[in-house]
Chains A and B, each alone.
Chain A
Amino acid sequence: MIATKHNPEGVTLSISSTVEQVCLLSVAIHALCLHASGDEASAMAVQCAVVEALNNVILHGYKNLPESDIIVHWTQTKAEMRIDIIDFGHSMTLLPEPVLPDFEAENGRGWWIINASVDEYYYQVVDTLERARTYQPDGSHDYSEAVNATTHYNKLTFIKRFS
């Protein structure tokens, strides 16, 4: 795990996409949240949400492909913690409903836990576009344009408030 500190309010942690790394990162997030809020319940709740999100990224975003990057950026304001979880894997096309599955189902509880653990969450798919304009030697200002999404990243943001 790599940690960098960009500013007084924020810490960025980076891991590769393996389940073994989730433990290390989630312990770090718990410690940051506990330090910021002084509230064990809030820190534990954020840790629960982050672990579920990281599991989802590894399983569904990266399809269990190791050695891909997951970046977690943690910031704190006066009474709020914000956690951005960034990956470069497959994007979701909608946020799953936070509903409990039937008891017998072994999977499908992650978004329920996330929804119950943080005050707000939202998901962004950020595309980087390549715009290619082609001008012909006819003296006009007309051009043809091709636009392609060359890279993208996904960002899941959690917000947890504390008093």
Chain B
Amino acid sequence: MIEVEDVVYDYPTKRALRGVRFKAERGQVLALVGPNGAGKTTLLRCLAALDRPFSGAVRIDGIDTQDDPRRVHEKVGYLPDFYGLYDELTVEQNLLYAANARRVTGAKAREAMKRTVERIGLADRVKSRASELSRGLRQRLAIGQTIVHEPAALLLDEPAAGLDPEARRSLSALITSLAKGGMAIIVSSHILAELEDYSTAMLVMRDGALIGDGPVSAGGAVRVRITLARTDQRFPASIAAQAGVKVENADASGGLITLDGGAEGNATLLRALVLDNFHVATFAEERVSLEAAYMAAQSSGVMASGVQAGGRA
């Protein structure tokens, strides 16, 4: 869906992106994190085909942003960190214009507007001018403008800035539902705890480059901690022999492993252990908080393999 290949972007006195490469599929929510000046906003602008990289390629739904930026614009929704609204227009007019400007016209535009105000919780404010809305509601309207045309890829730069906790929760629910609807979503934010609610993987940037090999997908390896009710000396050798298992540490009382195959893989391994007469007391996925993973990546320079980027598996 979103393909980024060795993208380099230069400012007159600084290289802002250094060979960035990753992919994001439909339904994925990538958390884009990194310190100020890491290149997150520049990357998002390149993905939105607003800025042209010096070299490399960005493809959205198979369309190269440099070959046909106008078609890319139709497929992308982008909310910049500093956005503007037409203050003198009503919520309805803002959304209708956004739909019309993305080739959604007539009755379809009105349907899109109604669907969007329901999604963003502004159904009771459609006749209010944008200037009459609170900061949180303005933020919702801005997000509404970016999704009213049902883009294939959604790029959000600090979407939760200025939102109260309740609004953040509804934003999380909205992003989750949009991802389930098939959008590929990239969210840049400094609020890691909030990203944990909905992101399926994480991209960590530093000095214009991605740390590690790109995002860790939700369907990939997970860490599982196993503890035994009775110690068993056979356990280290037995667990190491299981298919799809990578042992991080193991002894007679249990161990920490990385396991491929998702829920089905978990069930298969657990059944094998029980049939092998191991007295399994706990068999639990171990979640690493996004913040912990981020800090580890920042300090080591390389993202730990197998780190699940958030709470959703």
Q: Do A and B come from the same complex? A: no
